Amino acid sequence: MSTPPAAEGNTMSDANARLAALRAKRTGAPAAAAATNDTEEDPTKVWHKTACVLCSNNCGIEVRLDGRKITRVRGDKEHPASKGYTCEKALRIDYYQNGRDRLTTPLRRNDDGTFEEVSWDVAIAEVAERLTGIRDSVGGDKILYYGGGGQGNHFPGAYARGVLQTLGVKYRSNALAQEKTGMFWAQGKMFGKQNLGAMGDFEHTDCAVFIGKNPWQSHGFPESRNELNKIRNDDKRKLVVMDPRVSETAAMADHHLRVRPGTDAWALAALLAIMVEEGLTDEKFLAEQCTGWDELRDLISGADIADCARKCGIDEAELRAAARTMGTAKSLSTEEDLGIEMAPHSTLNSWLQRLLYLVTGNFAKPGGMNLPLRLAPICGHSGEGEVDPVTGNAMLSGLVACAAIPDCIDTDHPNRFRGMIVESANPLHTLPDSKRFREAFAKLECLVVIDVAMTETARAADYVLPACSQYEKPEATFFAGEMPANYFQVRHPILEPLGESLPEAEIHSRLVAAMGGRPAGTDGLADAAQQGREAFIEVLGQASSSDPDVGAKLPVVLYDSLGPTLGNMAPAAIMFGSAMQASMRYPDEVRAAGVEGEGLELASNLFDKLVNSPSGMIYSVSEYSQTWDRIAHPDGKIHLYIEELEDEFRSLADEEPAIGQDRFPFVLSAGERRSSNANDVIRDPEWRKKDKAGSLRINPDDATTLGVVDGDRVRIVSKRGEAEAPAEVTDTVMAGHVTLPHGFGTEYPDEDGEHKIHGVAVNELTDIEDRDWLSLTPHHKHVRVALEPVAG
């Protein structure tokens, strides 16, 4: 293949020189600022500040190193949110950092399906040629970008903008589009934007309510376990949990509403109807701050409480007691999770869950639900009628629904996706119905994977580009959403990149250059950055005004120009854009957090503090009442009534839920969170100290009927596949309900290099057709299966 010319002024030798300088400075001042020494002589006694990457909390931690090995982990007491807290999972992050399937050099697939190592120059040139070939022949809108970050890394998706703009890519997707988009759509209807999500003030609440969520394991807010224990030990505070399982959180609850699997909508409808019937609603709040209450009240009042109680399997008296606890609490905070988002009536569940705190007036107040300020939104906003180009399914939050992706590839439709870029994601393992995804991905003309490890998706790629781990580069996430003070942490690198791996910022910069996409208006910008921040801001403003491409590709522009002034923190240059937005959108709140300045001076000072605060920092302080300023509806009110969900709500009266079917009598929750699993970034099964095989949890009565005891192997059969797992007999699950953990079933090499599958890959069992009608969210928590004991 011929090598396309690089853009003038950004040659491959320039990029190599910049990377060499970046690596040479990794032992300089920025890295030293992220470490504290107990002794100057012994490097194994140095504590390096960073964060856990295993859930969205990203608790601040400190680690000790012995060479490249992470030997000790403790909570970082200087972190403004976690304050030294961490759970047991963070102690094992070395299994992620030093996995045996780490990628160290670019790979190209041969015709026989094997891979060969190639240089970065070859990989970048060929990937650029293949992708621009698709763009030039059928259009860049035939390339789909999937991923862009996980629970610990959000920089890649931002830096990818440069490549996507250069190629003309219009369509994106990620894991949110199989989990959260129904929830985002509902909150968009209520608050005016799909990226406006109310967060619970659990630290100060009198009543914490968790629906389909087990924060003891899934966390979701700072110091989760500490806060749960505080609530449990305070007689004046209450805990309400709706969950079919007796989870760790449910076992602590004042009210455990043990709903039958898949019947959450009936339980939520009953709770709301009770609140209306018993006068537990805040009529003043609803009249003054909301619209649509009259229509909503009539709809809710039509629910038959006794019938809903029968269908969800919860005694009506229990539902009434829980409703009274919520309705009379001085403050209420609530959070939902995948238990109701990946189950029947997914989007309807998310609407009804939000109504619990709104009809009781628990909004914009201490201990209630508030809209936090964010440095960047975690999702986008889609307009009415925005659909994918092939199936016509709704693109909520601007994302192609994950369950629609195979049909957007494996088809003769002229607008089908021909190429894909997959970054920091593993869709062939994590999305529903893996068989269907493998069939579809085989039809792609070019699949490029950018990742840390040789994942299941990487094994199907045409090119695999190795990225640095999250501890070998600056990184951050935009999950943090606290009130009244919000925080952010830009993590510092604590290790050199492994092999020839590169930070995604460098990969995307090289691709943009190889595709000839470097904005012409950036000439002189790097020189201005060397002269000082004031000169840089002036030239950046001029460049943005004269060339719209500068703004469209701003992350890469910042990396190429401001990045070289930051030493080993070069990929953190992207935060300058976030700092500028924050200083313009909410300058008073930024100054209230102790950042000084006006205008661009404020942005520059905020950026410097973000980059030079290795434990993280408080970047905004608000009043609870300022939540109202963030409502995006022109009337400034919450719109309670969602007309599109009215028919589905009314249909609950005629629908008769069933736990299973004759052929598949059990309901499987595929993806339970346990102490022995996290997200899929840890692929080494040895990190699990217990439940190494990923047991199938089954009720004692069902175990007796099947004739199995603890440890016996059970075959699980769904309409899409089958698997085997050892049984764990426990009354934490009800009869007819079984669970498997996520994060298992990955292919991983043992010490001899032999690749083995460890545990059950739950998406070999899930069906892509079992999904929500609007968001296409798959029913992972409600998979119908049959069970049979395995002989011997």
pLDDT bracket for residue 658 (50, 70, 90)? confident
Q: What angle do CA 475, 763, 458 make, to 5 degrees?
A: 50
For residues 481 and 197, the answer to whether their CB atoms sit within 8 Å is yes
Record the tokens describing residue 789, joined without a space: 């004991």
Nearest CA-CA partner of 158 in 614, 566, 575: 575
Record the tokens describing residue 383, joined without a space: 């307009």
For residues 258 and 344, the answer to whether their CB atoms sit within 8 Å is no
Give the DSSP H/E element, type plus range, for residue 145: strand 143-147
Residue 598, phi-psi category: left (phi > 0), alpha (psi -120 to 50), beta (remainder): beta
Residue 646, pLDDT above cutoff 90: yes
Of the given ranges (154-163, 522-531, 654-663), which has the lowest mean pLDDT? Answer: 654-663
Reduce the DSSP state of residue 342 to 3 states and report it.
coil
Of the given ranges (101-110, 283-292, 376-385), which has the lowest mean pLDDT? Answer: 376-385
Distance set, CA 202 to CA 58, 271, 335, 548 (Å): 17, 21, 10, 43
- The average pLDDT across 648-665 equals 91
- The average pLDDT across 37-44 equals 69
For residues 479 and 199, the answer to whether their CB atoms sit within 8 Å is no
pLDDT bracket for residue 310 (50, 70, 90)? very high
Which pLDDT does position 79 carry in this prediction? 98
CA distance 474 to 31: 10
Record the tokens describing residue 774, joined without a space: 């609007």
Query: Phi and psi (nearest 5°) for 757?
Result: -95, 130
Reduce the DSSP state of residue 351 to 3 states and report it.
helix
Per residue in 124-179, pLDDT tens? 999 999 999 999 999 999 999 999 999 999 999 999 999 999 999 999 999 999 99
pLDDT bracket for residue 98 (50, 70, 90)? very high
Which pLDDT does position 523 carry in this prediction? 86
- The average pLDDT across 10-34 equals 44
- The average pLDDT across 585-596 equals 98
pLDDT bracket for residue 374 (50, 70, 90)? very high
Distance set, CA 460 to CA 444, 456, 755 (Å): 10, 7, 16
Count CA atoms closer than 13 A to 493's CA, side-chain side. Answer: 27
Residue 39, pLDDT above cutoff 70: no
Q: What is the mean pLDDT of the chain?
A: 94
Record the tokens describing residue 572, joined without a space: 């953190």
For residues 692 and 682, the answer to whether their CB atoms sit within 8 Å is no
Which pLDDT does position 17 carry in this prediction? 55
Q: What angle do CA 22, 24, 26 make, to 5 degrees?
A: 75
For residues 673 and 276, the answer to whether their CB atoms sit within 8 Å is no
pLDDT bracket for residue 20 (50, 70, 90)? low
Residue 700, pLDDT above cutoff 90: yes
Percent of the chain residues topping a pLDDT of 70:
95
For residues 378 and 180, the answer to whether their CB atoms sit within 8 Å is no
Which pLDDT does position 444 carry in this prediction? 98
Residue 595, phi-psi category: left (phi > 0), alpha (psi -120 to 50), beta (remainder): beta
Residue 2, pLDDT above cutoff 90: no
Reduce the DSSP state of residue 589 to 3 states and report it.
helix
- The average pLDDT across 687-711 equals 96
Per residue in 528-578, pLDDT tens? 999 999 999 999 999 999 999 999 999 999 999 999 999 999 999 999 999
- The average pLDDT across 305-320 equals 98
Beta bridge partners of 35: 48
Record the tokens describing residue 162, joined without a space: 């440069």
CA distance 586 to 576: 15
pLDDT bracket for residue 36 (50, 70, 90)? low
Residue 671, pLDDT above cutoff 70: yes
pTM of the model: 0.95
pLDDT bracket for residue 21 (50, 70, 90)? low
pLDDT bracket for residue 27 (50, 70, 90)? very low
Nearest CA-CA partner of 57 in 27, 34, 87, 77: 87
Residue 24, pLDDT above cutoff 70: no
Per residue in 773-790, pLDDT tens? 999 999 999 999 999 999
Reduce the DSSP state of residue 191 to 3 states and report it.
helix
Residue 644, pLDDT above cutoff 50: yes
CA distance 208 to 241: 8
Which pLDDT does position 521 carry in this prediction? 82
**Count of residues in the chain:** 792
Record the tokens describing residue 382, joined without a space: 């889609």
Residue 772, pLDDT above cutoff 90: yes
pLDDT bracket for residue 343 (50, 70, 90)? very high
Residue 26, pLDDT above cutoff 60: no
Domains recognised in the chain with CATH numbers: 28-98+519-624 (no CATH), 198-370+638-650 (3.40.228.10), 658-789 (2.40.40.20)
Nearest CA-CA partner of 152 in 84, 68, 55: 55
Residue 37, pLDDT above cutoff 70: no
Which pLDDT does position 680 carry in this prediction? 85
How many of the other CB atoms lie within 10 Å of CB of 700? 13
According to DSSP, residue 771 is labeled B
